[in-house]
Amino acid sequence: MSRTVKETKAFLEELLGTYPEKTRKKREGHLAVKESCGDTSTGGESACSTCAVKSNVKSIPGVMTARGCAYAGSKGVVWGPIRDMVHLSHGPVGCGYYSWSTRRNLAQGKPGVDNFVPFQFTSDFQEQDIVYGGAQKLETICREINTLFPEAKGISIQSECPVGLIGDDIEASAKKMNDELGIDVIPVRCEGFRGVSQSLGHHIANDTIRDHVLGKGTLADPGPYDVAIIGDYNIGGDAWASRKILEELGLRVVAMWSGDGQLETMKLTHSVKLNLIHCYRSMNYIARHMEEAYGIPWLEYNFFGPTKIEASLRSIAARFDDKIIENAEKIIAKYKPAMNEVVSKYKARLDGKTVMLYVGGLRPRHVIGAYEDLGMKIIGSGYEFGHADDYKRTIPQLGVGTLVYDDVTQFELDELVKFIKPDLVGAGIKEKYVFQKMGVPFRQMHSWDYSGPYHGYDGFPIFARDMDMAINSPTWKLVKAPWDKEIR
Amino acid sequence: MNTAEWINTVEYKELNFARKSLVINPAKACQPLGAFFAAAGFEDTLPYEHGSQGCAAYFRNTLSRHFREPFPAVSDSMTEDAAVFGGRANMIEGLKNANEIYKPKMIAMCTSCMAEVIGDDLKAFISNAREAGSIPKELPVCYAHTPSFIGSHLTGYDNMLSGIIEGMSEGRYKEGERNGKINIIPGFEPHVENIREIKRYMALMNVDATVLADNTESFDSPVTGEYVMYNGKTTLDEAGDCVNATATLSMQAYSSIKTLKAMKIKYSQKTEAFNYPMGIAAFDRFLMKVSEITGNPIPASITHERGIAVDAVTDAHQYLHGKRFAIFGDPDMVMGLAGFLMEMGGEPVHIVCSNGSTKWGKEMEALLASSPYGASGKVYAGKDLWHMRSLLMTEPVDMLIGDSHGKYIARDADVPHVRIGFPIVDRVNLHRYPTIGYKGVINLITWIANSFVEDMDRRSDDAHFELLR
């Protein structure tokens, strides 16, 4: 349903008014309606108030935030998908258990031999480890990993809350084990109480990769077309779909960060000619570092939906020679008929349908184009853990009247959905069943709802099918019993 | 020999079992998950975690993935400053927000390990929050310390349940008086339909029973077009009055150690702990105990139902008899499963329980010793699914039974995997089927026997691909 800017603003006022005063004040800056806006990415005068949406600050106690923690950002997002090393959840059993294979980072290799992604390695802290410290245990664990998994190229130690609180020197243990075992043992200080969300965990993980991985290898045969994929976690095979296009373009993907990633190839990334960033939020840090330290330029791209894929292919190709530029046009022409077919099949069923998004790192903006390719309209979007630079990149892409919400509470999201009545909500598992109970079609947009890939030319037909399936499923017609006369 | 072959060997198994500190793929979670689970069984109750926010997100995700249901709960988002100064300020603000936004009738508070390591005192902080005017005097805030470095999700379930009973029954215990009811504790019950079954049997026997905690609707509620946030079915009045019951029966001994102890010692009740009574005989014993305690007879309708289940048992025993099983999961659940399998003539061979104690191990061994079909069974308390992998590869079985996490090793061992337990995140609707009671027996047989038959069909060559199975 379309609402005017005035109506929406009035509704937000009313919504905020139900909070205790202190909470109302804290929350009001996080909710906004897009009014009018030029391209504000340069921070020029055209910046409107919407672009100043408050972000990356502490969640308010007791409000039901969807946010996670630094451990989730480090182990769950950045480190976890690297397949040829063991990621130890260091501390009590829970964190590793809840993040065990739940992010759908697909990886090649034989589990337990040279792929350690679908595992929960934990030091399973007991009371005595809290009291006496876990250093000794950590060393024993590293030795045991080395014995049982001889092909593991390294170990990352992902700290859980207690580790930082009891003051264990995991850096010293890691150094000792690194020397003793002759494999990379990397301490990561991603205790869950650090920072305000997953986001600090991404940053900490980037920093540890910078300090312990980057630059540690030598690329045998560097070439002019060497690139790295940065910030694609291969959810449902996304990174493979992206890699395929880049290779078709004539580029050589030296490393994948970190979906289906390998420690060994990540060490070579400083040798590439261009870093290609998909999830800016979680990996801009390492790209900036490589730019400063090695002079490697980086480029953001977007492989969701044909419009964005084409634009991205052209901007990537423009960084290379004529051969690559020609290839880009060839690829675009080659896939155009198939993409047109997808659009013509689904646009008829989805044209004009409205969507509210609430997701993580890149998706609140990156998927907009894919929806628009299908004739759909984004009428609300927000980030769980975005920063100001994410909103600056997002708001120009939104139409006037679009709702913007940062670190939205479950209460706010429920009320906003009831108010603007979108045809589809795309968010996470915590939100999914709330909206389905309301009879609102929903897709999980973190895990692709166990589907995917959604990236690249391989992904778009699946994306289109899934959105159609969610919105046009005949099942929604069954929600009300035929004898129930009350019309909603 | 390459590594892929080596990890399947007896030599590797010995190395694997020699590890002392590393834990790989344990089938257990941490305390506050169980605390959230228990809290969801009470009327208009908001689960509240005092500690880091990431934990609450993980618990909500995990519960929602298994049940495919919403799981509303809050945390008070403690960060670095709370690590230094303690989480009092977070709780004062958190309780105010939680109460005013989500309007619960009760808040059930547990802790993350962060709050436990820094030593936050829940009782004192809650009282501070009341003094500060965060919450009204009359709003009950029940609490349990649930350190994740002690026990497992079962310990957390028990602690929270016990905390809720203590909190709600304050001033209500009438020594020497009994309210004529019995309490039933389902325990950490991933197959929530079991709770509905228990209630149905109690109704058939005219027994006035209070389920502690009845979270059936929290984990299996209808789509109506409206979202209902609170679905706990144990009323706060029942939670308060349960201390005056005649007896308390627990379906899962290891989910209710502390709670049962309080019922017995503090509230002078008869208590009885079962080990997830799967199978005919185990459920017979449960019903007879209920009959003995209440004096109510077991009606003919239940005997009739039992007969139908026994019919299913005799019809299908040939699919299970002599088959070798590996089972893993929570301590009571694996005991229940082993009992059921042996009753059918099946042989539990590898029994792994990551959160099983030494005491549990002895009880499990005694159970195996009670049947000739338990002769080849070996019990592994405190071991994990990587240990189980070595067992499957070196001493093969015909089937693996346990939660979805077992799928990797079932694939490596090339055996069918029947999903029972928590979490089940790769199959739909299994939580909607009972696994206990006589209908539960029929379901277990259906899943297990048909999995064998499907597996046989898939593997058969044309000549052996028969119509009759």
pLDDT tens profile B313-347? 999 999 999 999 999 999 999 999 999 999 999 99
Across the range A279-289, mean pLDDT stands at: 98
pLDDT digits (tens, 9 = 90+) for A222-253: 999 999 999 999 999 999 999 999 999 999 99
CA distance A151 to A161: 29
Judged by CB atoms closer than 8 Å, whether chains meet at A94 and B77 is answered as: no
- Quick one: pLDDT at residue A88? 98
Residue A454 has pLDDT above 70, yes or no: yes
CA distance B205 to B190: 25
**Closest residue by Cα to residue A97 from B40, B18, B391, B31:** B31
Residue A37 has pLDDT above 90, yes or no: no
Q: Name the closest residue on chain B to residue A440, using Cα atoms.
A: B225
CA distance A223 to A225: 6
At B274, is the pLDDT very low, low, confident or very high (cuts 50, 70, 90)? very high
How far CA A236 is from CA of A314, A452, B47, B71, in Å, comes to: 26, 5, 33, 25
At A45, is the pLDDT very low, low, confident or very high (cuts 50, 70, 90)? very low
Q: On the CB side of B235, how many CA atoms lie within 13 Å of its CA?
A: 4
Measured between CA atoms, how close is A65 to chain B, in angstroms?
7
Cβ neighbours of residue B225 closer than 8 Å, sequence gap 6 or more: A437, A438, A439, A479, A480, A488
**Closest residue by Cα to residue B363 from B399, B329, B336, B403:** B336
Q: What is the mean pLDDT of chain A?
A: 95
Judged by CB atoms closer than 8 Å, whether chains meet at A193 and B25 is answered as: no
What CATH code is assigned to A226-330?
3.40.50.1980
Residues of chain A with CATH 3.40.50.1980: 5-61+351-446, 70-212, 226-330
H or E element, residue A276: strand A274-277
Q: Write out residues 104-143 of A within 8 Å (CB-CB) of B.
A: 110-114, 118-127, 129-130, 137, 140-141
Q: Is A91 near chain B, with CB under 8 Å?
A: yes
Cβ neighbours of residue A393 closer than 8 Å, sequence gap 6 or more: A41, A280, A365
Question: How many residues in total does chain A contain?
Answer: 488
Q: Residue A101 is which amino acid? A: S
Structural tokens at position B352: 């792994």
Q: Is B82 near chain A, with CB under 8 Å?
A: yes
CA distance A280 to A231: 7
Task: State the fold for domain A70-212.
Answer: Rossmann fold (3.40.50)
Let me know if B463 is exposed, middle or buried by CB neighbors in 10 A (0-12, 13-18, 19+): exposed
Pairing relation of β-strands B23-24 and A121-122?
antiparallel
- Chain A residues in contact with B91 by the CB 8 A cut-off are 61
Residue A74 is given by DSSP the state I
**Residue B466, φ and ψ in degrees, nearest 5:** -100, 155
How far CA A421 is from CA of A9, A409, B102, in Å, comes to: 16, 17, 22
Residue A46 has pLDDT above 60, yes or no: no
Residue A331 has pLDDT above 50, yes or no: yes
Question: How many residues in total does chain B contain?
Answer: 469
Asked whether the ipTM of the predicted complex exceeds the cut of 0.90, the reply is: yes
Residue A487 has pLDDT above 60, yes or no: no
Cβ neighbours of residue B359 closer than 8 Å, sequence gap 6 or more: none
Give the SS3 label for residue B381: strand
3-state helix vs strand vs coil in chain A, percent to 5: 50, 15, 40
- Looking at the DSSP assignment, which residues form a beta bridge with residue B74? B48
Structural tokens at position B185: 């504790």
Q: Evaluate whether A318 touches A325 at the Cβ level (below 8 Å).
A: yes
Judged by CB atoms closer than 8 Å, whether chains meet at A99 and B58 is answered as: yes
Give the SS3 label for residue B54: helix
CA distance A300 to A277: 5
Task: State the fold for domain A5-61+351-446.
Answer: Rossmann fold (3.40.50)
pLDDT digits (tens, 9 = 90+) for B342-361: 999 999 999 999 999 999 99
CA distance A122 to A114: 18
